[in-house]
Structure 1
Amino acid sequence: MEIDFIIALAFILFWASVVHGSIGFGFGMISTALVALFTDIQTTILFMLIPTMLANIMSILSEGNFLEALKKFWVIILLMIIGSTLGTILLVYVNSEYFKLLLAFIILLYLLQSLIKINASFVTTHPKSSTYGLGIFGGIISGLTNVVAPLMIMYTLELKYSKKDTIQLSNLCFLFTKIGQISVFVYFGTFTGEAFSISMMTLVVVFFGMYLGSKVKRFIDAKFYVKILKVVLFFTALTLIIQTLNS
């Protein structure tokens, strides 16, 4: 693996960790989108697995009462694992560059959702069906792109979950789906020793970034911070689209 890529990976993971530590979300979306600019989507997700798990664990522990959250959300977490496993198997067999377009679409949906309230009243009228749908379909999307934030946000907003519940649900889902994804990649022999070694080395960067983010969050203007994040994500999504269509 080229040293330039490893340096870029470390820088991206550090910045994504600071953001996640300060506002409670964003690691997967930021890091996946930016790393995908330098390599294919399967390789991107491979390098994101272990760092994402660390970011999720640190967020879960910082919120507290994770066993209570696990007991409350175990059904959707289980469904998300099943969906993510299916999505990862598809990714291994196809590994199409067009999955980058799907990633860009998910990012743009997140940005659109933050500008206008997308009506998702079916979630409250059919909560059980919505849970199954988010679990399986959202899991497949997560397996293919490492991102499922827009669907998760719509689901939690409509059911009026607290910020703490939303953060815990998101991080628990991502944590357990990453375990499922690692199992799939190991089974198919795509999770190489090189990918594992580089991922383990980046944990120091992620830990420090998460710690720094947790310390500075009380001193930053969260709304302004999120606006900057959205601008970066918008141009990243556009770059992914242009890059994929021109490849």
Structure 2
Amino acid sequence: MDIYFVIAFGVIVLFSSLVHGSIGFGFGMISTPLVALFTDIQTTITYMLIPTMLVNIISILSEGKFFEALKKFWFIILLMVIGSALGTVLLVYTNSNYFKLLLAFIIFVYLLQSFVKIEATFISSYPKSSTYGLGLIGGIISGLTNIVAPLMIMYTLELKYTKKDTIQLSNLCFLFTKIGQLIVFISLGAFSNEAFELSILSIVIVCLGMLLGIKIKRKIDAKFYAKILKALLFIIALTLVYQTLFL
């Protein structure tokens, strides 16, 4: 494995986990497109599986009331696991670089959503149908791109979830979908030794990044911090589009 990639991977994981620790989410949103700049989307997701699971576990434990949140959100989590498994099977058998365009599109939707209030009143009007939709469609998108933030944000805002519930739901969904993905990848022989080695390397880095992030959580200018991250995501998404279509 190329030493320069290993170093870049370590820096990306450290930065992404620090961001996640400081604001409660964002690890997958930042780390996935950055790693995808160096390799294909399937390899990227296998490399990020265990680090993502670890970040989610730390976030869930730091928020507390794990079983209460699991009892509240178990149905949508189950639907997302099913959707994610379907998306993962599709990813393994196609492994198309054009899924990077889907990843970039999800980032653009997330950024647009943060600047323009996107009305999604059908969610509050049809909460049961919306739960099925978010669970299955969001799960498939998560399986293909490792990101589902825009749909999750619209869903939780329309149903007026608290910030704590939103963070817990996001982390629980990601944790269990990543467990499901890992099972699918292993059963299909698509989880490589390199992915395992990088996962072991990432454990210490994730713990360090999360610890630093949690410590600086109350010391940062949240609005300025968010603007910098959004600018970074915009540049990453543009790079993914250019890389996929023109290189």
Alignment TM-score > 0.5, same fold: yes
Residue 158 (structure 1) aligns with: 158
Moved over 4 A (4+): none
Residue 63 (structure 1) aligns with: 63
Query: Which ranges in structure 1 are unaligned for 5 or more consecutive residues?
Result: none
Residue 38 (structure 2) aligns with: 38
Residue 147 (structure 1) aligns with: 147
Q: Percent identity?
A: 72
* CA distance, structure 2, for counterparts of residue 131 and residue 34 of structure 1: 30
Shift of the alpha carbon at 1:234? 0.2
TM-score, normalised to structure 1's length?
0.99
Residues 83-111 of structure 1: CA distance to partner in whole angstroms, max 9, x if unpaired? 00000000000000000000000000000
* CA distance, structure 2, for counterparts of residue 182 and residue 219 of structure 1: 36
Shift of the alpha carbon at 1:129? 0.2
Where 1:21 maps in the other structure, the secondary structure is helix
Residue 121 (structure 2) aligns with: 121
Residue 2 (structure 2) aligns with: 2
* CA distance, structure 2, for counterparts of residue 105 and residue 152 of structure 1: 15
Where 1:202 maps in the other structure, the secondary structure is helix
TM-score, normalised to structure 2's length?
0.99
* CA distance, structure 2, for counterparts of residue 203 and residue 190 of structure 1: 21
Report whether the alignment pairs 1:16 with 2:16: yes
Where 1:135 maps in the other structure, the secondary structure is helix
Where does 1:220-239 land on structure 2 (aligned, <5 Å)? Answer: 220-239=220-239
Report whether the alignment pairs 1:167 with 2:167: yes
Residue 204 (structure 2) aligns with: 204
* CA distance, structure 1, for counterparts of residue 23 and residue 126 of structure 2: 30
In the alignment, residue 17 of structure 2 is paired with which amino acid?
A: S
Shift of the alpha carbon at 1:49? 0.2
* CA distance, structure 1, for counterparts of residue 222 and residue 203 of structure 2: 25
Shift of the alpha carbon at 1:180? 0.4
Shift of the alpha carbon at 1:195? 1.2
Residue 81 (structure 1) aligns with: 81
Paired residue total: 247
Report whether the alignment pairs 1:133 with 2:133: yes
Residue 187 (structure 1) aligns with: 187
* CA distance, structure 1, for counterparts of residue 29 and residue 173 of structure 2: 14
* CA distance, structure 1, for counterparts of residue 150 and residue 46 of structure 2: 22
Residue 241 (structure 2) aligns with: 241
Q: What CA RMSD, in Å, does the superposition of the two structures yield over aligned residues?
A: 0.5
In the alignment, residue 204 of structure 2 is paired with which amino acid?
A: V
In the alignment, residue 62 of structure 1 is paired with which amino acid?
A: S
* CA distance, structure 2, for counterparts of residue 37 and residue 29 of structure 1: 13
Residues 153-195 of structure 1: CA distance to partner in whole angstroms, max 9, x if unpaired? 0000000000000000000000000000001100111102221
* CA distance, structure 2, for counterparts of residue 207 and residue 170 of structure 1: 19
In the alignment, residue 182 of structure 2 is paired with which amino acid?
A: I
Where does 1:102-121 land on structure 2 (aligned, <5 Å)? Answer: 102-121=102-121
Residues 12-64 of structure 1: CA distance to partner in whole angstroms, max 9, x if unpaired? 00000110000001000100010000000000000000000010001000100
* CA distance, structure 2, for counterparts of residue 242 and residue 194 of structure 1: 27
Query: Which ranges in structure 2 are unaligned for 5 or more consecutive residues?
Result: none
* CA distance, structure 1, for counterparts of residue 38 and residue 195 of structure 2: 15
